[in-house]
């Protein structure tokens, strides 16, 4: 991986805005919780139209809060979306921000101002719980057996309890603050993504040992009867149990809230659900009738419910802004034979949208997004154009701060849109999956490019086309009719704007 240079000035401190407005805001700083689902589709929860799987907790949150129908993550995969959410910079501006292996070094350099730094500077206690997938350690990767540096604590988090990369990537261990949890020093961890290490069986050589079979990839190290991406030896006492991941990390999130209930806190709670391997706890297994993918949705809904219950029990619901959203769109077969395809039936993971995870169509990047803050956010539904990249600027504003000019280079203050006080959101936004798309008003333009139109493995409509594509999202939400040829003036306007966004290096 390319070595990352520290941006001069990135360490500059946030300045406090001096206006009366800022002072008034700062006085009643709400707690902020972002619950970040993995691969949860726009149509995967019942308040967004699902009927075969019912999500009562998420639905209740939506009923008590604001449900966004036109909110977006920045990329159609995890690492770049998370990078953009935390830094306020489009990930495609930087090399090495694609889906990371489990032994990658940190891609957000220590000291950089992130959403967590902003909250910390406002006096919040900050925590990251769950999936990380932004790399750990200096160039060369983390020391799994020692102190893990260049992690969440180096970019603004006071506390973290994380899955280093993804559930399907080794090492299959939790990290708490700077240490692997439960590691026996006599059984050190070795991780390798280039080739096999040790004499342990692998999914490829010993499929008879598996309880869940890969459909593509995922045939390397076996942990708990499930083969993964990457090779790993040692660390036996530290290995997680897949069925318990949701319970463990939800428990840590609940503990973090309880421990910090008397002062403002910021919690970034990134679940493993509903990413592969989908291995929900036995209390959810078989409950959806749609196989493990549907059961994982029920488990995710349970996690959301536990957070809501905790906030309500502590009487913090009028003092806490809860956001529930997803890192990218849905995928059905993402590499394991878990019956997701066979049992899908009439369920539409992306709802009315075309494509899904890995796609330039909106199924990849328009995501469910709900914000609840009792007494402040008026319940309802909004179609305001909103992007996760704006959270860092918006929360700076909410906490009475002005972002220094180096931070959040693509992040705009959209706090009024987030809180439902304004119906004017962004003018335009950029989405990414390999290439870029831009949405402005009713129009969406997709850059022309080569590549398969439907992926063989995941059966995703990628949005690749050698021709420029233009869709009217107001009349054609499903991106069925390319109207580029008859609207060349709009294509030109959007191509020019996108060109400017790329070359200028920042948009704020
Ligand atoms: C892909 C994996 C997929 C998933 C994805 C990342 C294979 C064949 N596929 O490379 O299973 O892990 O990466 O997902 O290995 S994400 O949500 O973290 O971006
Ligand atoms: Ca994801």
**Which of 19, 55, 22, 34 lies closest to 284 in space, CA to CA?**
55
Q: Find all residues with CB under 8 Å of 259, minimum gap 6, and list them.
A: none
CA 193 to chain centre: 23
The pick from 91, 166, 219 for probing ligand 1's pocket by mutation, whose C-beta has the most ligand atoms within 8 angstroms, reads: 166
From atom 8 of ligand 1, which residue's Cα is the shortest distance away? 217
Q: E-assigned strands of 342-440?
A: 366-372, 380-382, 386-387, 401-402, 428-433, 435-440
Q: Cis omega before residue 171 (within 30°)?
A: yes
Which of 275, 329, 331, 432 maximizes ligand 1 atoms within 8 Å of its Cβ, making it the mutation to test the pocket? Answer: 275
Q: Give the Å distances, CA to CA, from 2 to 86, 97, 133, 383, 505.
A: 20, 10, 17, 39, 19
Q: If 0-12 CB within 10 Å is exposed, 13-18 middle and 19+ buried, where does residue 19 land?
A: exposed
Sorted by where each begins, the domain ranges of the chain are 22-183+239-422, 190-233, 429-504
Is residue 435 classed exposed, middle or buried when 0-12, 13-18 and 19+ CB atoms within 10 A define those classes?
middle
Q: Which ligand is nearest to the CA of 457?
A: 1
Q: pLDDT at position 22, please?
A: 38
pLDDT digits 0-9 by tens, 113-167: 999 999 999 999 999 999 999 999 999 999 999 999 999 999 999 999 999 999 9
**Grouped pLDDT means (10 residues each) for the chain, 508 residues:** 38 38 53 99 98 98 98 98 98 98 98 98 98 98 98 98 98 98 98 96 97 98 98 98 99 98 98 98 98 98 99 98 98 98 98 98 98 98 98 98 96 98 96 97 96 96 98 98 98 98 96
C-alpha 275 – ligand 2 centre gap (Å): 7
- Predicted local confidence at residue 135, as pLDDT: 98
- C-alpha of residue 187 to centroid of ligand 2, in Å: 31
Rounded Cα–Cα distance for residues 98 and 79 (Å):
6
Angle (nearest 5°) at CA 401 between 413 and 323: 55
Q: What is the pLDDT of residue 12?
A: 37
Among 322, 295, 428, which Cα is nearest to 58's? Answer: 322
Q: Say how far apart CA 322 and CA 48 lie, in whole Å.
A: 18
Residue 111: is it exposed, middle or buried by C-beta count within 10 angstroms (0-12/13-18/19+)? middle
Residue ID of nearest Cα to ligand 1 atom 3: 334
- Gap from CA of 79 to ligand 2 centroid (Å): 8
Kind and range of the H or E run holding 472? strand 469-472
Domain 429-504 grouped into CATH 3.30.1120.10: yes
pLDDT at 14: 42
Q: Ligand 1 test: best mutation among 37, 77, 135, 274, most atoms within 8 Å of CB?
A: 77
Q: Within its chain, how far is the Cα of 437 from the centroid?
A: 19
Question: Relative to the CA of 39, which ligand 1 atom is closest?
Answer: 17
Which residue of 229, 293, 349, 356 sits with most ligand 1 atoms within 8 Å of its CB, as the best mutation to test the pocket? 229
- From the list 152, 102, 125, the residue with the least C-alpha distance to 33 is 125
Which pLDDT belongs to residue 7? 38
Ligand 1 atom index nearest CA of 169: 12
Smallest Cα–Cα separation from 48: which of 332, 369, 293? 369
- Which residue's CA is minimally distant from atom 13 of ligand 1? 99
Closest residue CA from atom 18 of ligand 1: 78
For residue 424, give the nearest of 374, 390, 392, 395 by alpha carbon.
Answer: 390
From atom 16 of ligand 1, which residue's Cα is the shortest distance away?
78
Ligand 1 nearest atom to the CA of residue 328, by list position: 17
Q: Whose CA is nearest to atom 6 of ligand 1?
A: 99
Query: d(Cα 44, Cα 50) in Å, to the nearest integer?
Result: 6
Report residue 72 as tokens.
């977006």
pTM: 0.95
**176: number of Cβ within 10 Å:** 15
pLDDT at residue number 227: 98
Q: Shortest CA distance to 73 belongs to which of 65, 82, 64?
A: 82
pLDDT in tens, 281-304: 999 999 999 999 999 999 999 999
Instruction: Specify the ligand 1 atom closest to the Cα of 168.
Output: 12
Distance between Cα 106 and ligand 2 center (Å): 18
- The set of protein residues with a Cβ atom below 6 angstroms from ligand 1 is 38-39, 77-78, 99, 133, 166, 168, 216-218, 229, 275-276, 328, 334-335
| Residue whose C-alpha is closest to residue 190's, from 235, 152, 221 | 235
CATH number of 22-183+239-422: 3.40.720.10
Task: Give the per-residue pLDDT at 121.
Answer: 98
Instruction: Provide, rounded to the nearest whole percent, the portion of the chain with pLDDT above 90.
Output: 94
């Amino acid at each position: 991986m390319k070595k990352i240079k520290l941006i001069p000035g990135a360490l500059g401190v946030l300045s406090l805005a001096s206006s009366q407005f800022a002072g008034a805001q700062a006085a009643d700083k709400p707690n902020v919780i972002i619950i970040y689902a993995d691969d949860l589709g726009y149509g995967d929860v019942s308040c967004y139209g699902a009927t075969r799987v019912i999500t009562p907790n998420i639905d209740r949150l939506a009923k008590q809060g604001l449900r966004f129908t036109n909110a977006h993550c920045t990329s159609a995969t995890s690492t770049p979306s998370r990078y953009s959410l935390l830094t306020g910079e489009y990930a495609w501006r930087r090399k090495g921000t694609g889906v990371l292996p489990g032994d990658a070094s940190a891609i957000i350099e220590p000291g950089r101002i992130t959403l967590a730094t902003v909250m910390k500077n406002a006096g919040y206690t900050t925590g990251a719980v769950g999936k990380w997938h932004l790399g750990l350690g200096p160039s060369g990767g983390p020391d799994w057996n020692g102190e893990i540096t260049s992690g969440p604590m180096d970019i603004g988090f006071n506390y973290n309890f994380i899955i280093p990369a993804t559930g399907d990537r080794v090492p299959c261990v939790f990290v708490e603050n700077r240490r692997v949890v439960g590691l026996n020093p006599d059984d050190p961890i070795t991780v390798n993504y280039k080739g096999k290490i040790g004499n342990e069986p692998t999914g490829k050589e010993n499929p008879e040992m598996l309880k869940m079979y890969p459909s593509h990839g995922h045939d390397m190290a076996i942990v708990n009867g499930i083969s993964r991406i990457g090779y790993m030896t040692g660390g036996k006492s530290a290995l997680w149990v897949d069925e318990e991941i949701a319970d463990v990390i939800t428990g840590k999130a609940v503990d973090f809230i309880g421990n910090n209930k008397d002062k403002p806190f910021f919690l970034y709670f990134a679940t493993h659900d509903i990413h592969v391997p989908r291995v929900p706890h036995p209390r959810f297994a078989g409950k959806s009738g749609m196989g493990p993918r549907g059961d994982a949705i029920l488990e995710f809904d349970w996690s959301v419910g536990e957070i809501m219950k905790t906030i309500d029990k502590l009487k913090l619901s009028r003092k806490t802004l809860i956001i529930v959203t997803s890192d990218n769109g849905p995928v059905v077969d993402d590499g394991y034979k878990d019956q997701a395809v066979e049992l899908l039936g009439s369920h539409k993971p992306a709802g009315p949208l075309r494509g899904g995870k890995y796609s330039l169509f909106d199924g990849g990047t328009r995501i469910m997004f709900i914000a609840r803050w009792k007494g402040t956010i008026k319940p309802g539904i909004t179609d305001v154009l909103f992007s996760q990249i704006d959270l860092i600027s918006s929360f700076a504003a909410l906490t009475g701060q002005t972002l220094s000019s180096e931070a959040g280079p693509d992040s705009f203050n959209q706090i009024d849109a987030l809180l439902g006080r304004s119906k004017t959101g962004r003018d335009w936004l950029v989405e990414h999956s390999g290439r870029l798309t831009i949405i402005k008003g009713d129009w969406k333009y997709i850059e022309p490019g080569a590549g398969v139109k439907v992926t063989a493995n995941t059966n995703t409509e990628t949005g690749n086309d050698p021709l420029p594509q233009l869709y009217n999202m107001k009349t054609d939400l499903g991106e069925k009719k390319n109207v580029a040829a008859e609207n060349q003036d709009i294509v030109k306007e959007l191509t020019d704007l996108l060109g400017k966004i790329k070359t200028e290096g920042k948009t704020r």
